[in-house]
Amino acid sequence: MNARRRIISRGMGWLALPLKVSGKLRWYLQSGDVVAEVRLKERGRRVGTLAISWNVYASASATISGTISGKAVRAQRIAP
């Protein structure tokens, strides 16, 4: 069995922007996989969704995909 931890965030402010971030993060402890699904809101209106994933044991980079303001986003970034 692959135990997991789940973190849920609702309406977190991000930096000094009026952007709110909400979503779920699942960390599968045995495999080290981390998968996040987040929603972005600005002034109460949804402006995007992102899927973010990485592996805490094998990867130093996170993969990010989704949309922001109707535009496709695909990126890699140093994993948290």
Does the structure show a pLDDT above 70 at 72?
yes
Statement: residue 13 has pLDDT above 50: no
Question: Whole-angstrom Cα distance, residue 4 to residue 14?
Answer: 26
pLDDT reported for residue 5: 54
How far is Cα 77 from Cα 62, in angstroms, rounded to an integer? 5
Q: What is the pTM of this model?
A: 0.75
